[in-house]
Amino acid sequence: MDIRVLGLGNVLMGDDGFGPFVIEALKAGYEFPPNVSVIDIGTPGLDLAPFLIGADAIIVVDTVRADGPGGAIRLYRREQILKHAPGLRLGPHDPGFKQALLTLEFAEMGPSQILLVGAIPALTVPTPFLSRPLRNAVPVAVHEVIEELDRLGSPARAKRGVIDVNPWWERAA
C-alpha cells in the first residue's frame, strides 16, 4: 500500500507553513515503513496532481479556513473534501488541492483514502515563524497522522530520546 503524507503550505508566510513544519516534526520524531513517504510539498497548486498519482492513501496536513480559534485542528475525509471543501488558505494551493483531486478522480488515478488534517491559522504574514497557537497545535496534528498510519496498517515507530524540531527556515538570519 502506497501511502503519502504531504505537508502543504508556504514556509515564508507565517502560519501557512504549518503543513511543512508538521512534516519536519514527523521526520524528527518517527521512523516510517518503506511504503510511507513523508514529504514537505510546499504550495504546488495544480502541480500537486503528479505527486498524488499512484497513491492508495494520502494524509494531507494544511491550514484550513473554518470557524474556530487559531490552532484548532479539524479533520476531513475524502467525501467532505470533494463535496464541501473547506477553503484552504492562501492562493497558490487553492483551488489546487481540490482541483487536483477532482482531476485524478476523473482520470481514475486518484487515491481511494484521504485524510486532511487542517489547522485554523492565527496569522499569515511574511515571516518564517509559526504563531504560538499553531506551534502548540503541531503535536496534535502529528498525533492524528500517526493514528491514521496505524489505522492504515503501516504504523510509524517513535524514536527515543529528546526530539528537537529545527527546520532550516526557522534558523536565525
Partner 1 sequence: MAKITIDPVTRIEGHLRIDAEVAGGRVTKAWSSGQMFRGIERILQGRDPREAWLFTQRFCGVCTTVHAIASVRAVENALHLEVPLNAQYIRNLIVAAHAMHDHIVHFYQLSALDWVDVVSALKADPAKTSQLAESLSPWPHNSRMELKAVQDKLKGFVEAGQLGPFTNGYWGHPAMKLPPEVNLLAVSHYLQALEYQRKVNQIVAILGSKTPNIQNLAVGGVANAINLDNDSTLNMTKLYAIKDRLDEVSTFIEQVYFPDVCAVAAMYPDWLSYGAGVTNYLSVPDLPLDTKGAAFDFPGGTIMGGDLKTVHEIKSFDEPYFRENVSESIAHAWYDGDWARHPFDEDTEPKYSKFDDEGKYSWVKAPRFQGKPMQVGPLAQVLVGVALGHEPTVRWAKKTLATAGTVAGVTLGPEVLHSTLGRHAARMIRTGVISELAKKHWGLLVENIGKGNTDIFNQPTFPSGEQRGFGFHEAPRGTLSHWIVIRDAKIHNYQAVVPSTWNAGPRDEKAQPGPYEASLVGNPVADPELPLELLRTVHSFDPCLACAVHTMDPDGTEIAKVKVL
| Cis omega (within 30 of 0) for bond into 133 | no
Distance CA 163, CA 116 (A): 25
Minimum Å gap between C-beta 39 and partner 1 is: 5
Minimum distance between the CB of residue 98 and partner 1, rounded to whole angstroms? 9
Smaller CB separation from partner 1, 128 or 140: 128
Which residues make up the interface to partner 1 (CB under 8 A)? 10-13, 37, 39-47, 49-51, 53, 87, 89-96, 99, 102-109, 124, 126-128, 168-169, 173
Q: Which is nearer to partner 1, 106 or 164 (CB)?
A: 106
Query: Nearer Cβ to partner 1, position 42 or 71?
Result: 42
**Please, which residue, 32 or 51, has the CB nearer to partner 1?**
51
CA angle (151, 152, 158) in 5-degree steps: 70
Q: Which is nearer to partner 1, 123 or 140 (CB)?
A: 123
**Residue 163 CB-density burial (10 A; 0-12 exposed, 13-18 middle, 19+ buried):** exposed
Tally the residues of the chain: 173
- 118 and 62 in contact (C-beta within 8 Å)? yes
**Which phi-psi region, left, alpha or beta, contains residue 3 (left: φ > 0; alpha: ψ -120 to 50)?**
beta
Sign of the four-CA dihedral 142, 148, 150, 156:
negative
Residue 163 CB, shortest distance to partner 1, in Å, is 22
Smallest separation, CB 56 to partner 1 (Å): 16
Minimum gap (Å) between residue 161 Cβ and partner 1: 26
Are 6 and 55 within 8 A, CB to CB?
no
